[in-house]
Amino acid sequence: MTNFVSSKSTNSAQANSIVLIRRMALGIAIVTWMVMAIGSATRIMNAGLACPDWPLCYGTILPAEQMNLQVFLEWFHRLVASSVGFATIALCSASWYFRKSLPKWLPWATSGSLSLVIVQGILGGLTVTQLLRFDIVTAHLGTGLLFFSSLLAIATALSISVGEVQTSPPKLAWLGLTAAICVYLQSILGALVASQWALHQCFATQDMCIVLNAHLLGVIPATFASIAVVITSWLTKLTSPLLRRVSVIAGLLVIAQVAIGYATYKLHLQVEPLTVAHQAIGSALLGTLICFTVLAFRAINQNSTLEQNQAQPAIR
């Protein structure tokens, strides 16, 4: 009886630890998505250098005297980004503190996320000190997307609803991973277009058209790979309902992304909210594909474990 109570208490503590880490990772991921959207608005409003120094702004934490819309955007972007950094430190610390009741991979995964956010912070400082150099700005977004993806992967892998994923053909997991990679690379091309103002230069002086065209061509593999995830999920009989629902979300985001991207292109980036939405929906699409891929791979592992257990002879 004592062993039963002790085992039940241990399982409860483990479940509580997993729920805590999952909620922290998901919460930080959502805020990170908001930070990237704010960063996009900051760039569009030409506010990237509104605070000429770093990490302070005009030498203070709160530049009240210099405050205007541009300064506020840059200052608020830094404020929320700093909060994400401190929250990630707490996430990593908690995963190591509760490591005995958590999956062995989790502390190392959160350490990887912490490393990414540190690099992200350094790149954020360099974007200011190096006067918005395009390669640093692009790397800044690229690292941010990797950090965002790592948090969603952690949260999805710990999700208590993952049990709904009873089956998943291996091809779905690899197809989801391929689509996620295509969308990530397309996001990098989009960052290059934005950081070099390639669309404006191409229309005005025919400069940087090669960068713009590369981004336009990149729409093809990213879109087709994402749509393939949706179609394959629904045509494959073994696909679980949860994976199909996630694939539908991805499909809707693809449609919205292509429509907004087309409108942004036709309007020559003159409507700022559309441009911000384009970047935000692209990040959301990447995150959705990451969740789909993690769920699919976890289902494969669960199926493999179940088959191994069934193959073992019963102990009599």
Q: What is the pLDDT of residues 23-57, one digit of tens each?
A: 999 999 999 999 999 999 998 888 989 999 998 99
Asked if residue 84 belongs to a domain, the reply is yes
Phi then psi dihedrals of residue 212, to 5 deg: -65, -45
Least confident of 76-80, 218-222, 267-271: 267-271
Does residue 294 sit in the same domain as residue 254? yes
Q: For residue 5, is pLDDT > 50? A: no
Confidence grade of residue 15 (pLDDT, cut at 50, 70, 90): confident
C-alpha to C-alpha distance for 40 and 169, rounded to whole angstroms: 37
Total count of domains within the chain = 2
In this predicted model, what pLDDT tens digit does every residue of 220-259 receive, in sequence order?
A: 999 999 999 999 999 988 788 889 999 999 999 999 999 9
Give me the CATH number covering residue 287: 1.20.120
Whether residue 145 is contained in a domain is answered as yes
pLDDT tens figures, 270-282: 788 898 999 999 9
End-to-end distance of the chain based on CA atoms, in angstroms? 24
- List the one residue out of 225, 260, 256, 243 whose CA is nearest residue 296: 243
Last residue of a domain, one of 158, 183, 212: 158
172 and 315 share a domain?
Answer: yes
Which residues span the domain enclosing 118?
7-158
Do 83 and 106 reside in the same domain of the chain? yes
Q: Is 39 in contact with 79 (CB distance < 8 Å)?
A: no
Which residue is listed with tokens 């790397």? 139
Q: In this structure, is residue 61 part of a structural domain?
A: yes
Q: Are residues 289 and 302 in the same domain?
A: yes
**Are 316 and 173 found together in one domain?**
yes
For residue 169, the model assigns a pLDDT of 75
Task: Say whether both 193 and 292 belong to one domain.
Answer: yes
Output the pLDDT for position 24. Answer: 97
Last residue of a domain, one of 142, 158, 174: 158
